Every structure is written in C-alpha cells, then in structure tokens.
Amino acid sequence: MAIVRMNLHNVFYISYLVPAARIRSLVPKALKLASDENNKVYVSFVAMKCLRARFSVFPLIKLSYYQLNLRTYVSDPKTGDAAVYFFNSGVSLGIIPVLTRFIGIAWEKISFNVSKDYKGRYHATGYWLGEFSFEIDIAPSKKLNDAEALHITGPMMGFIGPEGKTQGFRINHQALKVYPAVLNNIEFPLPLDNGLVTSKELHDPDSVLVVPEAEFMISLPPAKVDNH
C-alpha cells in the first residue's frame, strides 16, 4: 500500500443538480447514486492545482500539476458512506497518466492553467477534447449552505472505472475551509458531449464552492469493487 500526499491550492467545485435517471447508466450498478428527495443528484467539475505530490515509495520525487475531474456522488457499497464516482479526470503533467495507468487509473493528459487577475477573479483555460474556460469570483458575503458544502467536498472514498472494472480508493483530509463563490462564465464542451449537463444548465450551476488550500492523502493502489 502506498500513500500519495499532495497540497491542493484553489480547489473549485462547480456543481449541478441533474435528474438521477440521466446519469444512472453512466455509473456502475454497484454504486448507489446519492440522489435527493426529488431524485436529483449533483454532478461536479472539480478543478485544482496540486503541489508537491509525493509517493511514500518515492519520497524524493515531488510533482506539481493542474487537475480537472468530472464526478458525481454515490454511496460506498461496503459501508454506505458518502463517496464520489469519477467520470473523467485530466491532468496537465504528461508523466502522471503514464504512472497511474500501471495501477489501473485512466487519467488523461490535458492542457490546463488557472490565473488570478487584479480584481481577485480566477480565470481557467485549457483544452480537453475541445477548448474550455471558466471564470470564478469568491463571494464572502454569500451565505454558505453547510450541508450542501459537506455533501460536495466531504466524501472520503473515490471510485473509478466502468461496469465490471470499477475500483475504489480511500481519501483522507482534515476539515476543509469552504467558501461560497459565483461563476461568471463557462465554456466546456466535454460534459455537454457526454450528456452530463445541458447547455442551459452549464451556465447556471446550483453550487459554486472554493477551498483555497488543503492537504489530501490518497491510498493506492485502488481495490476492485465486487459488482455482485
């Protein structure tokens, strides 16, 4: 068992409540969707900068890169605890997908960068099967929905892989300092092409959250999920 430690900066969670039926076929049957009383479930785009990612088996190697995940929210089939399922994950450093492929994690190489302007707005640009961009403002005067924030940022278990090849891995972190934010604009063809959100939904998220800084630990390799 190896532990990957990484310092995360400017983690953006852009989330949409969509009908559970829309994505049910895209999530392995062994994973129960974390849908609400209206049978809707969040789909999130999570962007971050990973600094000094280091593996316990190679402590002197430290890697930094940008990462973007498309995910939804499920239950751990063993414990019933809150978890996330990753539809896609892309990273800006080409060596990362090469390394993770050896343990069955199919991350993709993407172009991605985030900058901050003089007004404090965050601008993200990149290319992932098409050009994408978004702009976010932290909104300290906006009231934070604590239950919603915990649901979106709190899960400590992640699942990846299609039906029959699903794997899970443990995530650990301290309590996160979460701030409400607003999405000024977004262009992102991948989730539209995948059928996760509609064009109208894309520009009107139900939740936008920012975690300025955190330390995450991930236990690898992932373990295969029993689909029976």
Q: How far apart are CA 149 and CA 129, in angstroms?
A: 29
pLDDT at 226: 77
pLDDT at 83: 98
pLDDT at 101: 79
Nearest to 168 by CA among 215, 221, 217: 221
pLDDT at 29: 95
> What DSSP designation does 76 have?
-
Q: How far apart are CA 137 and CA 145, in angstroms?
A: 17
Q: Is 58 exposed, middle or buried (0-12, 13-18, 19+ CB in 10 A)?
A: exposed
Return the ∠ at Cα 202 (arms to 135 and 197), rounded to 5°.
Answer: 145
Q: Which residues contact 45 (CB under 8 A, 6 or more apart)?
A: 12, 13, 14, 15, 68, 69, 70, 188, 191
Domain containing 51 equals: 2-224
pLDDT at 228: 56
Counted domains in the chain: 1
- Tell me the residue type at 130: G
- Domain CATH for 209: 2.40.400.10
Give yes or no for a contact between 128 and 68, defined as CB atoms under 8 angstroms apart. Answer: yes
- 162: cis peptide before it, omega within 30°? no
pLDDT in tens, the chain (228 residues): 778 899 999 999 999 999 999 999 999 999 999 999 999 999 999 999 999 888 776 777 889 999 999 999 999 999 999 999 999 999 999 988 887 777 778 899 999 999 999 999 999 999 999 999 999 999 988 999 999 999 999 999 999 999 999 999 999 998 899 999 999 999 999 999 999 999 999 999 999 999 999 999 998 888 888 765
| Tokens linked to 196 | 């996760």
pLDDT at 187: 97
Q: How far apart are CA 29 and CA 26, in angstroms?
A: 9
Q: Which helix (H) or strand (E) holds 1?
A: none
pLDDT at 227: 66
Q: How far apart are CA 27 and CA 122, in angstroms?
A: 31
Q: Is 41 exposed, middle or buried (0-12, 13-18, 19+ CB in 10 A)?
A: buried
Q: Is 186 left (phi over 0), alpha (psi -120 to 50) or beta?
A: beta
Q: How far apart are CA 226 and CA 30, in angstroms?
A: 8
